[in-house]
Structure 1
Amino acid sequence: MAKYNKKIVDNICALIRTDSYTIAEICEKVGIVKDTYYSWLKTKSDFSDAIKKAEDEFNDLIIAEAKRSLVKMIRGYTVQEKRTVTADTGKKDDNGKPIVRVKEHVVTDKHYQPVPAAVIFALTNRDPDNWKNRQENKVSGEVGIKSSLESLSDEELQKIVDGDETDQERNTDS
């Protein structure tokens, strides 16, 4: 078992803060086995506190990056693409490498339009009172057969039950 020390703890925490390494990858990079890592996690409170803090910092970093990315997706953005065109001269230098000549450097601005799904996501989460992804069906009052029969007299109800009066006759009487 590796000896527990501040340097190993700092290295582990630095790895956790910067990327989403697995425990196995972290242990390999710092030179310990997974069992040692888990043993320290259980037995050393300062180690588990440091790991928790590093995980929280990484989560905060990811959330901030996701927010920046979402804003770019909502607004749209422009990037510069650089391309260099070369031509082989057919000659070789003293080391036998082909001599190439730069023909041109091309720099183009490429614009990415806003992503509608990102816009919808932002609106439905930031302003849910005005933007919803689902409909709400609200029913007020009583509906159905009960409310239509309440206005009938006992004699009219008896005719319906006996089958003496049809829907059409009832509608023409009203």
Structure 2
Amino acid sequence: LGNWKKSHLEILEALKKGKEVVDIQVENALFKRALGYEFVEITKELTDAGLLVTKEVTKQQAPDTTAAIFWLKNRKPNEWRDKRETQISGDIGVRNPMQNLTEEELRRLANGIDGT
């Protein structure tokens, strides 16, 4: 199939355009879901005269926080991604007061013997 698409570029381009249209539709649906929206719910009943609209109710779909988070993490990753990278520069010095003591002096300190 891949080889056939390569040899028929017009078909390959048509497939790509078809995918772009669907991608845009999904993006729009995600955006709409993230913000919330209003819609009309229509109830129909079957009567002797056929299928008749019996009720139209305007409803609201609340914003979806999961859709909003997904949107923001993908559209503004530097501000919304979970993993933050922090760089620290400079020298971190550690002062060891025992650094210049001999092994004998360290043993005395460990055994609680004061050399003074």
Q: What do residues 25-73 of structure 1 show as CA deviations (whole Å, max 9, x unaligned)?
A: xxxxxxxxxxxxx5x828x83xx21221111111111221111112111
Q: Which residue of 2 aligns with 1:53?
A: 13
Q: TM-score, normalised by structure 1?
A: 0.48
Q: Tell me how far apart the structure 2 counterparts of residues 41 and 136 of structure 1 sit (CA, whole Å).
A: 45
Q: Mind listing any 5+ residue stretches in structure 2 that lack a counterpart?
A: none
d(CA) in 2 for partners of 1:163, 1:55: 82
Q: What is the aligned partner in structure 1 of residue 70 from structure 2?
A: 121
Q: Does 1:133 align with 2:82?
A: yes
Work out the CA distance in 1 between the residues paired with 2:34 and 2:68: 5
Distance of aligned partners of 1:56 and 1:84 in 2 relative to their CA distance in 1, 3 Å threshold: closer
Structure 1: 5+ residue runs without aligned partners? 1-37, 88-98, 170-174
Higher relative helix content: 1
Query: Against the structure 1 CA distance between its residues 51 and 116, is the aligned structure 2 distance closer, same or farther, given a 3 Å change threshold?
Result: same
- Alignment identity in percent? 21
Query: What secondary structure, in the 3-state scheme, does the structure 2 residue paired with 1:154 have?
Result: coil
Q: Distance in 2 between matches of 1:163 and 1:51?
A: 86
Computed over aligned residues only, the root mean square deviation of the Cα atoms, in angstroms, reads: 3.7
Q: TM-score, normalised by structure 2?
A: 0.67
